[in-house]
């Protein structure tokens, strides 16, 4: 299993993906592909992804994240929990992970204000470990939240459903629906100037 | 600048930090220190941290995160925006980054349901890049939200204030207040059994 080695890029760098500062290439090379191979993900690799998530930081170390995943025979039902635009490309994805965040502190019952933020840190730990194993990930907010809770047995009063994550090895864009195949490329980013401010925020309109 | 190299661990591994599966060591070695050196963080390193955050994934690629940071003369006022328990240890931290998430889509004005989750991915990208540069980070939900918005000029109707991140080089635990110095060690994690479920969630009470 590779360790601390940046995985090979999924695509060559493009002019829309130029970093503005020196940074580990794994951050720039990772992107949310839609083309996945149907090749199964070994159980050991999946455990490795969840292990990365396990070590994410969280307020008061509550670790508010919860993952319910579908593979094999569970996939047919799980795919129907995605919203239709995501069902169009996720047909061959071998693993779908549904991500939830706990709403209340398990002891004090106080609302966990940063649960979604902390769960985002866990999700991205998982995504980077996936890259290191040659896997790709794609998080989707487009899921049918009520059906997700019901189908996966996760009480909506205890957990917020946030997203689903497609996990698998890279596939061929040519096997996607034509409109999606044409769009299968990494997207660009804002400049740091638009989201980093020293001392005080200055609104773009001022 | 090191690239794709796992930074040296801040502390030796402890029995509370044993991984349950193979994973890149950076995830296990990173922890949220309170002991920071007052040594300044070079502007180039700070740009590198924000660059990692820049490439994080987000729903519809909205990139909802906003960072307002304090260093140098801005620190005195910025420290007062932390809640008191965090002020106790953050006195020598050379950079404080305040993290916000956009509330609405800039074009459609629709609520951004996953903004905090996406911003968590950006925060953790920044945290890992910091580790790669030998820096440490510590995110704090304990901030005075109303004062943060007012002092940093970030409209609360447009952005949610989420956390502050301390950034700096490792410092000596002995310089912390005695009770915090005694607690200065990485914390443990739940087992994967408690937050990973195949197919369907099973409540611990059932």
Q: Which helix (H) or strand (E) holds A118?
A: helix A115-132
Distance of alpha carbon A56 from alpha carbon A49, whole angstroms:
12
**Quick check: A7 pLDDT over 70?**
no
User: What is the chain B residue with the closest CA to A33?
Assistant: B57
Give contacts of B 145-184 with A, CB under 8 A.
Answer: 152-155, 162-163
Contacts of A150 (CB under 8 A, 6+ apart): none
**Quick check: A13 pLDDT over 80?**
no
* pLDDT values of chain B reduced to their tens digit, one per residue, 206 residues: 333 444 444 455 567 899 999 999 999 999 999 999 999 999 999 999 999 999 999 999 999 999 999 999 999 999 999 999 999 999 999 999 999 999 999 999 999 999 999 999 999 999 999 999 999 999 999 999 999 999 999 999 999 999 999 999 999 999 999 999 999 999 999 999 999 999 999 998 76
Contacts of A37 (CB under 8 A, 6+ apart): A92, A94, A168, A169, A170, A171, A172
Q: Does B65 touch chain A (CB under 8 A)?
A: yes
Residues forming a β-bridge with A165: A97, A139
Q: Are A135 and A167 in contact, with CB atoms under 8 Å apart?
A: yes
Best residue in A5, A18, A124, A126 to probe B by mutation, most B CBs within 10 Å? A124
Structure tokens of A75? 């996939």
Mean pLDDT score, A55-75: 98
State pLDDT tens for residues A80-114.
Answer: 999 999 999 999 999 999 999 999 999 999 999 99
The half-sphere exposure of A64 on its side-chain side, counting CA atoms within 13 A, is 31
Q: Are B140 and B167 in contact, with CB atoms under 8 Å apart?
A: no
Q: Give just the sign of the alpha carbon dihedral A66, A71, A74, A79.
A: positive
Mean pLDDT score, A60-85: 98
User: Rounded to a whole number, what is the distance in Å from the CA of B175 to chain A's nearest CA?
Assistant: 23
User: What is the chain A residue with the closest CA to B124?
Assistant: A121
State the pLDDT confidence band at A4, using cuts at 50, 70 and 90: very low
CB atoms within 10 A of CB B32: 17
**Quick check: A1 pLDDT over 70?**
no
Query: What are phi and psi for residue B164, nearest 5 degrees?
Result: -120, 150
Query: What are phi and psi for residue A99, nearest 5 degrees?
Result: -110, 130
Among B124, B130, B77, B135, residue whose Cα is nearest residue B99:
B124
Q: Are A64 and A118 in contact, with CB atoms under 8 Å apart?
A: yes
Binary contact (A47, B21; C-beta < 8 A): yes
Q: Does B68 touch chain A (CB under 8 A)?
A: yes
**Quick check: A10 pLDDT over 70?**
no
Among B20, B122, B144, B206, residue whose Cα is nearest residue A192:
B122
Structure tokens of A61? 């170390």
Distance of alpha carbon A133 from alpha carbon A1, whole angstroms:
7
State pLDDT tens for residues B47-66.
Answer: 999 999 999 999 999 999 99
Among A25, A65, A187, whose Cβ lies nearest the Cβ of B195? A65
- Provide the 8-state DSSP code for A144: -
pLDDT score of A204: 87
- ipTM, 2 dp: 0.94
Give contacts of A 121-150 with B, CB under 8 A.
Answer: 121-125, 127-129, 132, 139, 141
* The total number of residues written for chain A in this structure: 206
pLDDT score of B52: 98
Structure tokens of B88? 């106790």
pLDDT score of B3: 39
For chain B, give the DSSP string. ---S-PPPPSS---GGG--SS---HHHHH----S-B--PPPPHHHHHHHHHHHHT---GGG---EEEEEEEGGGHHHHHTTB-HHHHTTGGG-SEEEEEEEESB-TTT--B-TTHHHHHHHHHHHHHHHHHHTT-EEEEES-B-HHHHHHHHT--TTTEEEEEEEEEE-B--GGGS-HHHHHH-S------GGGTEEESS---TT-
Structure tokens of A166? 């497609």
Q: Are B166 and B140 in contact, with CB atoms under 8 Å apart?
A: yes
Chain A contacts of B162, Cβ < 8 Å?
114, 117
Residues forming a β-bridge with B160: B101
Chain B contacts of A27, Cβ < 8 Å?
51-52, 54-56, 125, 129
User: Rounded to a whole number, what is the distance in Å from the CA of B107 to chain A's nearest CA?
Assistant: 14
Mean pLDDT computed over every residue of chain A: 93
Strands (E), A106-189: 136-140, 159-168
- Residue A147 DSSP SS3: helix
Q: Does B57 touch chain A (CB under 8 A)?
A: yes
Q: Does B189 touch chain A (CB under 8 A)?
A: yes
User: Rounded to a whole number, what is the distance in Å from the CA of A174 to chain B's nearest CA?
Assistant: 23
Structure tokens of A193? 């100037």
pLDDT score of B13: 53
Confidence (pTM): 0.94
Q: Which helix (H) or strand (E) holds A121?
A: helix A115-132
């Amino acid at each position: 299993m590779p360790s601390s080695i940046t995985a090979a890029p999924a695509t060559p760098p493009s002019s829309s993906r130029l970093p503005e500062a020196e940074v580990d290439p794994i951050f720039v090379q990772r992107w949310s592909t839609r083309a996945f191979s149907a090749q199964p993900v070994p159980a050991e690799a999946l455990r490795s992804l969840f292990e990365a998530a396990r070590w994410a930081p969280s307020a008061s170390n509550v670790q508010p994240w919860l993952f319910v995943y579908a593979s094999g025979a569970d996939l047919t039902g799980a795919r129907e929990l995605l919203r239709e635009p995501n069902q169009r490309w996720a047909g061959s994805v071998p693993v779908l992970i549904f991500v939830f965040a706990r709403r209340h502190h398990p002891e004090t019952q106080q609302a966990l204000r940063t649960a979604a933020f902390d769960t985002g840190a866990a999700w991205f730990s998982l995504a980077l470990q996936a890259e290191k194993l040659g896997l790709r990930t794609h998080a989707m907010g487009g899921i049918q939240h009520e059906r997700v809770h019901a189908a996966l047995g996760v009480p909506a009063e205890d957990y917020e459903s946030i997203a689903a994550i497609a996990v698998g090895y890279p596939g061929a864009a040519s096997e996607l629906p034509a409109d999606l195949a044409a769009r299968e490329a990494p997207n660009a980013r804002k400049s740091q100037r638009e989201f980093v401010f020293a001392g005080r925020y200055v609104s773009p309109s001022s």
